[in-house]
């Protein structure tokens, strides 16, 4: 077979050569040991939490080695693509502060010298490499129709072939003569370009996966499709061309690609390219709410599978990142203890500390992490974030919340910046309810009175407190005032004393303050009540005390 002639026949217009590409995309000038990683999503409409996992890994691995991370859009499967798929991905990363050094930055925009970073714009590159493979006798056109391919599958099934697919004696087009090919082309028959596999059935290959260790698998013998009939590459071929010319050193991708590695290694070798290091990451799992079984997070069943869920609920991005890192790297928590104030994105990510089995995503744990992080934020920061979040997700509350920024900030500041801050808020969608009694009159329910306090006692407490209540009192004076009311009401001013002799009293000062709390806020548990009352002001507090007494 005259391979040069065949290559010309198949790719008459391709002038670009792999040598041109080598010059255009030279090896990167990076320090020794620097890693080049990529995140390569298909724009199918949303960013999965597993995608955020992967991207974080890519970015941090590159950062920790003074390398480069980039975002490549793999849009070769037009059937699965949706219109604003790219925007959904970029928006997802923006929301979590995940930034790549290079690659696609928005719909139709990109940065970096190794682009284009969108596969549909790289067809020239794939064709240059494909043409060279034909010239080298490592690829051939296949004219088999869908019917022929399904007949082949049936034949293999009937024969009980151990390996299924287009290979060896089943690969009908592998041995077509140049004349036959010319005839087919002249007849306008559609064709795909196939890899001419050099593998053999009785050989095995080994490779090192950086988190799974040494892996042994049968060598690839399949004549895999490189270019589809429309000239668009398959994932496999695009992976080889792109990761070579973008000079990726570490291919970090989901474990579903592990079984394709023999194919990829064979193609890299056929092209004469260095095989990158492979890292196949575990899937994100959860315990099924109904069955309790561990299973993959599913787009259909689990709203939290989409990264947008965390934005919509108002989880601060730091909380999501922090939690993901605890799942991703077993030494993150030690590092965090040693560096409590550091930015999580400065974590020296270690691929070797990644687990090979599925990691368990637990919303409750994320909630705890988030409460901790929010408890350490400054009130002004929270104010700004809640103002921003409510604009999109709670527009009515947004108006109320932002009407008096100083007031809203002051109420968020209660019990904040103290040695043990309260951990009441996990996400911004809880703030409206959490602060409700500042903006709306509470409906205090007498059923919530402490057990030891009868409605008549509560009424007496309010009646005694109203005339002496002084909004100018600080916390200590405020509490001392409640104590002075206790003896006449039959309550003990000191909790300790009460505990020694509970029969002697109706209750203690804590019960008295609970009544005031319930009347003023409608709640049984709030941050510091004295500050709440100061912020509400005398008029509102008195009115609420009166309104509650009237219900008793």
Q: Site residues (CB under 6 A) for ligand GLU?
A: 40-42, 74, 239, 253, 257
Nearer of residues 107 and 257 to ligand GLU, judged by Cβ: 257
Burial of 350 (0-12, 13-18, 19+ CB in 10 A): middle
Q: How far is the CB of 248 from ligand GLU (least distance, A)?
A: 9
Q: Helix, strand, or coil here: 433?
A: helix
Which residue has the CB atom at the shortest distance from ligand GLU?
Answer: 253
End-to-end CA gap in the chain: 100
Q: How far is the CB of 256 from ligand GLU (least distance, A)?
A: 7
CB-based contact 486:512 (threshold 8 Å): yes
205: β partners: 217
Please tell me the distance from the alpha carbon of residue 23 to that of residue 510, in angstroms, as a whole number: 78
Nearer of residues 57 and 521 to ligand GLU, judged by Cβ: 57
Nearer of residues 132 and 239 to ligand GLU, judged by Cβ: 239
Which is nearest to 516 in space by CA: 433, 450, 435? 450
CB-based contact 118:73 (threshold 8 Å): yes
Nearer of residues 122 and 253 to ligand GLU, judged by Cβ: 253
> How many CB atoms are located within 10 Å of the residue 425 CB?
21
Q: How far is the CB of 353 from ligand GLU (least distance, A)?
A: 21
Nearer of residues 240 and 435 to ligand GLU, judged by Cβ: 240
Q: How far is the CB of 40 from ligand GLU (least distance, A)?
A: 4
Nearer of residues 44 and 408 to ligand GLU, judged by Cβ: 44
108: left (phi over 0), alpha (psi -120 to 50) or beta: left
Nearer of residues 324 and 486 to ligand GLU, judged by Cβ: 324
Nearer of residues 105 and 118 to ligand GLU, judged by Cβ: 118
Asked if the bond preceding 419 is cis, omega within 30° of 0, the reply is: no
CA angle 303, 308, 309 (to 5 degrees): 40
> How many CB atoms are located within 10 Å of the residue 147 CB?
8
CA angle 529, 535, 541 (to 5 degrees): 70
Q: How far is the CB of 79 from ligand GLU (least distance, A)?
A: 14
Q: How far is the CB of 348 from ligand GLU (least distance, A)?
A: 23
Please tell me the distance from the alpha carbon of residue 323 to that of residue 361, in angstroms, as a whole number: 9
CB-based contact 238:76 (threshold 8 Å): yes
Please tell me the distance from the alpha carbon of residue 323 to that of residue 90, in angstroms, as a whole number: 21
Q: How far is the CB of 119 from ligand GLU (least distance, A)?
A: 9
């Amino acid at each position: 077979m005259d391979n040069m002639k065949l290559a010309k026949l198949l790719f008459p217009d391709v002038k670009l050569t792999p040598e041109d590409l080598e010059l255009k995309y030279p090896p990167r000038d990076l320090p020794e040991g620097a890693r080049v990683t990529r995140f390569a999503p298909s724009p199918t409409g949303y960013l999965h939490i597993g995608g955020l996992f992967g991207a974080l890994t890519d970015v941090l691995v590159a950062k920790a080695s003074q390398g480069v991370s980039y975002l490549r859009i793999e849009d070769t499967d037009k059937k699965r693509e949706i219109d604003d798929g790219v925007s959904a991905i970029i928006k997802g990363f923006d929301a979590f502060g995940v930034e790549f050094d290079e690659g696609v930055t928005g719909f139709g925009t990109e940065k970096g010298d190794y682009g284009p970073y969108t596969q549909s714009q790289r067809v020239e590159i794939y064709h240059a490499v494909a043409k060279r493979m034909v010239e080298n006798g490592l690829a051939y056109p296949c004219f088999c129709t869908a019917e022929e391919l399904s007949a082949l599958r049936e034949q293999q099934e009937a024969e009980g072939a151990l390996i299924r697919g287009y290979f060896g004696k089943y690969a009908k087009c592998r041995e077509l003569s140049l004349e036959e090919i010319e005839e087919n082309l002249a007849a306008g028959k559609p064709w795909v370009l196939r890899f001419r596999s050099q593998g053999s059935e009785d050989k095995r290959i080994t490779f090192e996966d950086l988190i799974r260790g040494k892996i042994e698998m049968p060598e690839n013998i399949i004549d895999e499709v490189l270019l589809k009939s429309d000239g668009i590459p398959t994932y496999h071929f695009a992976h080889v061309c792109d990761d070579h010319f973008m000079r990726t050193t570490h291919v970090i991708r989901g474990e579903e690609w592990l079984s394709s590695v023999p194919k990829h290694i064979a193609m890299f070798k056929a092209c004469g390219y260095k095989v990158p290091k492979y890292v196949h990451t575990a899937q994100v799992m959860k315990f099924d709410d109904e069955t309790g079984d561990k299973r993959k997070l599913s787009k259909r069943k689990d709203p939290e599978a989409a990264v947008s869920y965390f934005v919509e609920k108002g989880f601060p991005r730091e909380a999501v990142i922090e939690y993901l890192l605890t799942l991703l790297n077993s030494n993150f928590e030690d590092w965090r203890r040693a560096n409590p104030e550091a930015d999580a994105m400065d974590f020296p990510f270690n691929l070797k500390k990644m687990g090979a089995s599925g990691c368990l995503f637990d919303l409750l744990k994320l909630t705890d992490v988030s409460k901790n992080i929010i408890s350490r934020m400054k009130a002004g920061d929270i104010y700004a974030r809640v103002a921003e979040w409510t604009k999109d997700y709670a527009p009515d509350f947004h108006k109320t919340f932002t009407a008096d920024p100083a007031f809203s900030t002051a109420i968020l500041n209660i019990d904040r910046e103290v040695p043990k801050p309260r951990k009441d808020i996990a996400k911004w969608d809880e703030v409206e309810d959490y602060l409700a009694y500042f903006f709306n009159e509470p409906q205090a329910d007498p059923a919530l009175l402490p057990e030891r306090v009868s409605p008549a006692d509560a009424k007496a407490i309010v009646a005694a407190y109203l005339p002496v209540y002084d909004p100018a009192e600080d916390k200590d004076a405020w509490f001392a005032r409640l104590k002075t009311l206790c003896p006449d009401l039959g309550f003990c001013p000191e909790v300790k004393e009460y505990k020694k002799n509970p029969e002697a009293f109706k209750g203690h000062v804590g019960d008295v303050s609970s009544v005031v709390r319930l009347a003023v806020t409608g709640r049984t548990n709030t941050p510091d009540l004295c500050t709440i009352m100061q912020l509400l002001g005398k008029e509102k507090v008195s009115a609420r005390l009166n309104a509650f007494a009237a219900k008793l």
